[in-house]
Chain A
């Protein structure tokens, strides 16, 4: 019972830290990579909570479609935030 809770604690902390770093980051490509790390942490949270079906959709959307669309947008605009 204690190990899933410890994993929950670890992954939610990692997700929170990487989302904070993604907000603070001025280089938008690195910010996208950091928010993908946050997606991985939350996907692993779903794995800990025994929801593999949601994990699969979350991986496809959070790690595939969302970063690529954002990278495409950054390519059209500027890479660095002022």
Chain B
């Protein structure tokens, strides 16, 4: 038995190594995109040259983080439609919840959850996760991160508390289905307002900075000593709100479906 396991693991290790070596060989021959076609190189050069070009602000995004600039400025439509897809998925999940959006969790949860060690550890880790997620979301226009990364990181904290303690602990902390839906709606309204405000100034939708052919002066990049990064910070904060609350809605809905309780009591 022992011999068989070691032989099969040897086979799988050598197979995996051979496959990776083949992959790396093709990567070394330029399969990773070392020599992309000339038309794509132009887009990359445009973004690198213009994202934070303080000398020529014609096409700049006001943020040194090129990825966030692409996500929320140059290719803003893609992100808006991604948010729409997630919105539709969460709405479909909510339709299945017994008791609708007023669904409540009944019970006390006295003898639920795991041991005391796991409970304490999940409380501490969830605090750290919340701080990290807020950091990712709020600094997403300077360093890697952003609304989606921050929101999905934030969602780990209530999920840990559900798994380690119980869903009643979350309810006592103030997490409610109706409250999460309200906050998500607030985030969506914020996204719509920020992306359509330039239209009032005869600008483009999801416009960040001033562009030729548009009257919109652009969102403020500097506010005194503060560095704001145009509309990217608002977009990241509202996307953070939307994504984190949508994950929490899914988790609470999962629990309500599991228990089969709810009702509008």
Contact of B20 among A13, A59, A76 (CB under 8 A): A13
B27 to A13, Cβ gap below 8 A?
no
Interface residue tally on B, bucketed by range: 20 to 34
Interface residue tally on A, bucketed by range: 20 to 34
Question: Chain A interface mostly helix, strand, loop or mixed?
Answer: helix
A68 to B153: give the CA distance in the assembly, Å.
Answer: 13
B144 to A56, Cβ gap below 8 A?
yes
For B28, the chain A residues whose CB sits under 8 A away are 1, 5
CB distance from A64 to the nearest CB of B (A): 4
B12 to A12, Cβ gap below 8 A?
no
B242 at the interface (CB under 8 A from A): no
Task: List 8 additional A-B contacts (Cβ < 8 Å) besides A16-B12, A53-B145, A56-B136.
Answer: A9-B20, A9-B24, A12-B23, A13-B17, A64-B129, A64-B152, A64-B156, A68-B159
Contact of A57 among B20, B24, B152 (CB under 8 A): B152
For A52, the chain B residues whose CB sits under 8 A away are 144
CB distance from A75 to the nearest CB of B (A): 8
B24 to A61, Cβ gap below 8 A?
no
A52 to B153: give the CA distance in the assembly, Å.
Answer: 15
A16 to B12: give the CA distance in the assembly, Å.
Answer: 9
Give the residue name and chain of the A residue nearest to B157 (CB): A64
A20 at the interface (CB under 8 A from B): yes
For A56, the chain B residues whose CB sits under 8 A away are 136, 144-145, 149, 153
A69 to B149, Cβ gap below 8 A?
no
For A72, the chain B residues whose CB sits under 8 A away are 162-163
Contact of A60 among B24, B152, B160, B163 (CB under 8 A): B152
B85 at the interface (CB under 8 A from A): no
